[in-house]
Chains A and B, each alone.
Chain A
Amino acid sequence: DAGVTQSPTHLIKTRGQQVTLRCSPKSGHDTVSWYQQALGQGPQFIFQYYEEEERQRGNFPDRFSGHQFPNYSSELNVNALLLGDSALYLCASSFYALGQGGNEQYFGPGTRLTVT
């Protein structure tokens, strides 16, 4: 049973460039959430995708955008990179269960983005 996978593992970009990160959810999961974890902090919610639509969004600028594909995989795009975007980007998958509040999300290993 494959868990959540992310690519690439590491990435170095220059300020002003654009980056795309990829995520494949755990088998059987249909919802993908993205989080940003800065050094010494807990993960912060960026947004969530279900049925190829953005369902929830955290306090991140429009430079952060995403997409979900019919096979439930997802991409996170960041435009006009800033030095402050350097962080670990985590993808989490879960199952959309109507009427239930249970919320276990399973995380991938993350992509370490460094902006120079």
Chain B
Amino acid sequence: DQQVKQNSPSLSVQEGRISILNCDYTNSMFDYFLWYKKYPAEGPTFLISISSIKDKNEDGRFTVFLNKSAKHLSLHIVPSQPGDSAVYFCAASATSYGGATNKLIFGTGTLLAVQP
């Protein structure tokens, strides 16, 4: 039961162009979404997040879009740089109003290769 899906195992993009990474989810209780980047031999690094009350969040070159009706989110990287080459994970959580930090459900990741 894969609640968070990243259907593209890999993506190759030219330096300077836009990278678009996609993520779909099935659980309508999810209300917070995050993107992490992971280099080999390192832990995941938090990139950007979005609450379900928004449909867009920007941070520098990174923008996350959320389409709740389609249960779909995407991460846009503009412009792409060779240093962006890594595995990108989408993660989702459902708020527990007790305030607890909630468990993250991860997708299987997309390997982004940015070609110089």
Give A contacts to B, CB under 8 Å.
4, 6, 31, 33, 35, 40-45, 48, 50, 55-56, 58, 90, 92, 94-110
B46 contact from A6, A55, A105, Cβ within 8 A: A105
Q: How far is the CA of A102 from the CA of B54 in the complex (A)?
A: 13
Q: List 25 A-B contacts (CB under 8 A).
A: A31-B101, A40-B108, A42-B89, A42-B91, A42-B106, A43-B104, A45-B103, A48-B101, A55-B100, A90-B43, A94-B101, A95-B101, A97-B101, A98-B98, A101-B31, A101-B51, A101-B102, A102-B49, A103-B32, A103-B34, A103-B102, A103-B104, A104-B49, A105-B101, A110-B42
Give the interface SS of chain A, mostly helix, strand, loop or mixed. loop
List A contacts of B31 (CB < 8 A): 101
Q: In this complex, which of A42, A56, A97, A110 has the most chain B Cβ atoms within 10 angstroms of its Cβ? A: A42
